[in-house]
């Protein structure tokens, strides 16, 4: 008969390990919860309109179900959408699970709207608008220093400014976003400095990264006419031709209430927050918007293959054309991507690690 003897010291150690596992489980639950809320925010901002509110709520439940027992808190039900008189779309997701909030303002201005020969304009414009307009360069002027964790990103379709912060700071963050929508303070020296930063980013993050080089080449092969074929950052040759007047006109044309979606998720009272948003953003005049781009990409007649060499390590990319932004199919694909690859504990990540572990065990 086997006998198990547990000493007091070992028992204490076991309890300590159990406590650590509980803490880790709670942290994973928090991370998963935030990923669900941020995915809701991302869906609204990507589609810029929230036309499929009920469908997306159901899709969010899919993410929650995929999290299993790690996601114990109920999902937020308080999703509401509003349109201000000046055209600004406001989406509020009230959730009192924790005293935090996520805020994002997205504009329908991405690299697809860059004038030909001046690719990189939308991304370049993001740089001088990211620091809070109330502060100049000199010292730490980025919203990160003022409001919590902030970021900005430009892709083919949108430019977005996001903040993750304590819920008590959300009104201050909204005031910053309202000023960002109306104020551009940039001179010739500012523009030259931001161009140098963008070029440095490109050298480090794209030209110095084999993987991103490959992805740029994939976009170029996937599209023949559509501006999706051009990199968001542009090239040194196109950035050189962007003038201060180009930047100012782009800001005046696209940073308008009717061209933006404001999404807030977290611990607040929706009606109170909406009143504050109307006070901050409602006074911004409505403006007419440029006609949207209508480039039609020719249908792809068959598979296209690209061999990109030399590479330091073998890489393979398979790319597929998918439905346009704003369609329910695209929203479903966004949720599927979050479920499969949205974090450290998602399906593909876990499956790959388990397969690698099995291979190591077989090898030994």
Segment among 137-141, 166-170, 180-184, 329-333 with least mean pLDDT:
137-141
In a domain, 170, yes or no: yes
- Strand-by-strand arrangement of the 100-107 sheet: 78-83, 89-94, 260-266, 100-107, 159-166, 149-154
Q: How many percent of the chain have pLDDT more than 90?
A: 39
Contacts for 356 with CB less than 8 Å, ≥ 6 apart: none
In a domain, 358, yes or no: no
Region of 326 on the Ramachandran plot (φ > 0 left; ψ -120 to 50 alpha; else beta): left
Q: Which one is predicted more confidently, 168 or 337?
A: 168
* Pairing assessment for the beta strands 78-83 and 89-94 based on DSSP bridges: antiparallel
User: Residue 34: what pLDDT?
Assistant: 55
In a domain, 85, yes or no: yes
User: Residue 95: what pLDDT?
Assistant: 83
The confidence band for 71, taking pLDDT boundaries of 50, 70 and 90, is very low
- Rounded Cα distance between 338 and 333, Å, is 9
The pair of structure tokens assigned to 128 is: 């001088």
Q: Tell me which residue has tokens 């929230």.
A: 50
Q: Tell me which residue has tokens 């009717």.
A: 258
In a domain, 274, yes or no: yes
Domain that holds residue 149: 76-296+303-332
- Using the predicted structure, report yes or no on whether residue 311 has a pLDDT greater than 70: no
- Are the CB atoms for 90 and 107 separated by under 8 Å? no
Q: Which one is predicted more confidently, 4 or 215?
A: 215
Helices (H) and strands (E) in the chain, counts: 12, 6
Of 127-141, 144-158, 171-185, the range with the highest mean pLDDT is 171-185
- Rounded Cα distance between 118 and 233, Å, is 10
In a domain, 68, yes or no: no
In a domain, 152, yes or no: yes
* Residue 47: CB atoms within 10 Å: 23
Q: Which one is predicted more confidently, 124 or 337?
A: 124
User: Tens of pLDDT along 73-111?
Assistant: 344 456 888 999 999 999 898 888 788 888 999 999 999
Task: Give the CB-side neighbour count of residue 312, counting CA atoms within 13 A.
Answer: 5
* Averaged pLDDT, 183-198: 94
User: Residue 102: what pLDDT?
Assistant: 87
User: Tens of pLDDT along 5-46?
Assistant: 333 344 444 445 545 656 665 665 555 555 555 555 554 444
The pair of structure tokens assigned to 344 is: 């450290």
Domain count, the chain: 1
Please report, for the domain that includes residue 292, its CATH number: 3.30.830.10
* Averaged pLDDT, 206-232: 88
- Rounded Cα distance between 278 and 169, Å, is 17
Contacts for 262 with CB less than 8 Å, ≥ 6 apart: 88, 89, 90, 91, 103, 104, 105, 177, 277, 281
- Using the predicted structure, report yes or no on whether residue 55 has a pLDDT greater than 60: no
- Using the predicted structure, report yes or no on whether residue 222 has a pLDDT greater than 50: yes
User: Residue 44: what pLDDT?
Assistant: 46
In a domain, 111, yes or no: yes
In a domain, 46, yes or no: no
- Rounded Cα distance between 104 and 152, Å, is 9
* Residue 99: CB atoms within 10 Å: 11
User: Residue 100: what pLDDT?
Assistant: 87
User: Tens of pLDDT along 273-295?
Assistant: 999 999 999 999 999 898 887 88
- Using the predicted structure, report yes or no on whether residue 357 has a pLDDT greater than 80: no
pTM above threshold 0.75: no
- Are the CB atoms for 181 and 260 separated by under 8 Å? yes
Length of the chain: 364
Contacts for 105 with CB less than 8 Å, ≥ 6 apart: 160, 161, 177, 180, 181, 260, 261, 262, 263
Tell me which H or E stretch contains 38.
helix 8-47
User: Residue 94: what pLDDT?
Assistant: 87
- Using the predicted structure, report yes or no on whether residue 269 has a pLDDT greater than 80: yes
């Amino acid at each position: 008969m086997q006998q198990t003897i547990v000493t007091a010291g070992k028992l204490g150690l076991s309890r300590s390990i159990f406590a650590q596992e509980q803490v880790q489980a709670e942290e994973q639950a928090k991370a998963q919860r935030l990923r669900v809320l941020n995915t809701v925010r991302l869906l609204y901002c990507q589609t810029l309109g929230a036309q499929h509110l009920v469908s997306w709520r159901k899709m969010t439940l899919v993410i929650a179900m995929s999290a299993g027992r790690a996601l114990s808190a109920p999902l937020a039900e308080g999703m509401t959408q509003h349109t201000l008189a000046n055209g600004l779309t406001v989406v509020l997701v009230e959730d009192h699970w924790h005293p935090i909030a996520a805020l994002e303002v997205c504009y329908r201005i991405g690299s697809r709207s860059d004038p030909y020969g001046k690719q990189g304009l939308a991304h370049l414009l993001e740089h001088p608008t990211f620091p809070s307009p109330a502060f100049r360069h000199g010292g730490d002027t980025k919203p990160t220093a003022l409001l919590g964790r902030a970021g900005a990103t430009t892709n083919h379709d949108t430019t977005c400014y996001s903040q993750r912060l304590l819920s008590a700071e959300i009104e201050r963050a909204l005031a910053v976003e309202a000023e960002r929508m109306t104020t551009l303070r940039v001179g010739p020296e500012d523009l030259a400095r931001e161009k140098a930063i963008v070029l440095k980013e490109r050298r480090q993050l794209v030209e110095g990264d084999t993987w991103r080089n490959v992805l740029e080449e994939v976009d170029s092969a996937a599209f023949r006419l559509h501006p999706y074929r051009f990199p968001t950052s542009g090239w040194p040759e196109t950035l050189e031709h962007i003038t201060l007047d180009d930047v100012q006109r782009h800001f005046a044309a696209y940073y308008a209430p009717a061209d933006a979606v404001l999404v807030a998720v977290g611990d607040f009272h929706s009606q109170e927050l909406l009143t504050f948003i109307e006070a901050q953003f409602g006074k911004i005049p409505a403006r007419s918007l440029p006609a949207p781009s209508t480039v039609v990409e020719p249908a792809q007649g068959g598979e296209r293959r690209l061999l990109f060499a030399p590479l330091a390590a073998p890489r393979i990319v398979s790319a597929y054309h998918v439905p346009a932004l704003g369609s329910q199919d695209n929203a479903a694909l966004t949720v599927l991507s979050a479920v499969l690859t949205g974090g450290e504990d998602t399906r593909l990540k876990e499956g790959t690690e388990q397969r690698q572990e099995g291979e190591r065990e077989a090898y030994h």
